[in-house]
Structure 1
Amino acid sequence: MQDAQSPGSTQDTGASQNGEASTHFGYSQVPLGEKQGLVNDVFHKVAHRYDMMNDLMSGGLHRVWKDVLVGKVHPSRRAPFNHLDVAGGTGDVAIRVARAGGPQTRVTVLDINGDMLAVGRERAEKKGFGEQLTFVEANAEDLPLPSNEFDAYTIAFGIRNVPRIEKALAEAYRTLKRGGRFLCLEFSHVEAPVLAKIYETYSFSMIPLIGRLVAGEAEPYRYLVESIRQFPSAEEFAAMIERAGFQRVGFTRLTGGVVAIHSGWKL
Structure 2
Amino acid sequence: MATRRTTATGGMETAYGYREVGAGEKQGLVNDVFHRVAERYDVMNDLMSGGLHRLWKEAMVTWLAPPKRAGWRALDVAGGTGDIAFRILDASGGRAEITVLDINGSMLAVGRERAERSGRAAQLSFIEANAEDLPFSDGTFDAYTIAFGIRNVPQIDRALAEAFRVLRPGGRFLCLEFSEVDSRLLDKAYEAWSFQAIPRIGAAVTGSGEPYRYLVESIRKFPNQVNFAAMLRRAGFERVAWRNLSGGIAALHSGWKL
Fold match, TM over 0.5? yes
Mapped pair 1:149 → 2:140 = yes
- How many angstroms apart in 1 are the aligned matches of 2:135 and 2:120? 23
Alignment of 1:87-166 (within 5 A): 87-166=78-157
Q: Alpha-carbon deviations, 1:71-122, whole Å to 9, x = none?
A: 1221111332100000000000001111111343111000000000000001
Q: Could you tell me whether the CA contact under 8 Å between 1:249 and 1:263 is conserved in 2?
A: yes
- How many angstroms apart in 2 are the aligned matches of 1:87 and 1:37? 15
Q: CA deviation at 1:215?
A: 1.0
Name the residue aligned to 1:172. Answer: 163
Identity of aligned residues (%): 62
Alignment equivalent of 1:69, drawn from 49, 60, 63: 60
Q: Could you tell me whether the CA contact under 8 Å between 1:79 and 1:102 is conserved in 2?
A: no
Name the residue aligned to 2:212. Answer: 221
Alignment-mate amino acid for residue 8 of structure 1: T
Q: Could you tell me whether the CA contact under 8 Å between 1:2 and 1:189 is conserved in 2?
A: no
Unaligned segments of structure 2, at least 5 residues: none
SS, match of residue 143 in structure 1: coil
Unaligned segments of structure 1, at least 5 residues: 14-21
- How many angstroms apart in 1 are the aligned matches of 2:114 and 2:122? 12
Q: Alpha-carbon deviations, 1:30-54, whole Å to 9, x = none?
A: 1120100000000000000000000
Name the residue aligned to 2:11. Answer: 12
Name the residue aligned to 2:244. Answer: 253
Alignment equivalent of 1:232, drawn from 212, 223, 240: 223
Name the residue aligned to 1:16. Answer: none
- How many angstroms apart in 2 are the aligned matches of 1:220 and 1:23? 17
Stretch of structure 1 that moved more, 67-76 or 237-246: 67-76
Q: CA deviation at 1:23?
A: 1.4
- How many angstroms apart in 2 are the aligned matches of 1:125 and 1:82? 21
Q: CA deviation at 1:2?
A: 6.9
| 4+ residue runs over 4 A deviation | none
Alignment of 1:188-227 (within 5 A): 188-227=179-218
- How many angstroms apart in 2 are the aligned matches of 1:258 and 1:142? 29
Mapped pair 1:37 → 2:28 = yes
- How many angstroms apart in 1 are the aligned matches of 2:204 and 2:47? 11
Q: Could you tell me whether the CA contact under 8 Å between 1:82 and 1:150 is conserved in 2?
A: yes
Q: Could you tell me whether the CA contact under 8 Å between 2:137 and 2:166 is conserved in 1?
A: yes
Q: Would the alpha carbon gap of residues 37 and 130 (structure 1) be closer, same or farther in structure 2, given more than 3 Å must change? A: same
Alignment equivalent of 2:234, drawn from 235, 243, 246: 243
Name the residue aligned to 1:78. Answer: 69
Q: Could you tell me whether the CA contact under 8 Å between 2:178 and 2:250 is conserved in 1?
A: yes
- How many angstroms apart in 2 are the aligned matches of 1:25 and 1:103? 38
- How many angstroms apart in 2 are the aligned matches of 1:96 and 1:146? 25
Q: Could you tell me whether the CA contact under 8 Å between 1:190 and 1:196 is conserved in 2?
A: yes
Q: Alpha-carbon deviations, 1:184-238, whole Å to 9, x = none?
A: 0000011201000000000000000000011111000000000000000100000
- With normalisation by structure 1, the TM-score equals 0.93
- How many angstroms apart in 1 are the aligned matches of 2:6 and 2:248? 15
SS, match of residue 72 in structure 1: helix
- How many angstroms apart in 2 are the aligned matches of 1:82 and 1:31? 37
Q: Could you tell me whether the CA contact under 8 Å between 1:251 and 1:262 is conserved in 2?
A: yes
- How many angstroms apart in 1 are the aligned matches of 2:83 and 2:96? 16
Name the residue aligned to 2:255. Answer: 264
Name the residue aligned to 1:18. Answer: none
CA RMSD of aligned residues (A): 1.4
Task: Report how many aligned residue pairs link the two structures.
Answer: 257
- How many angstroms apart in 2 are the aligned matches of 1:206 and 1:2? 18
Q: Would the alpha carbon gap of residues 2 and 244 (structure 1) be closer, same or farther in structure 2, given more than 3 Å must change? A: farther
Name the residue aligned to 1:53. Answer: 44
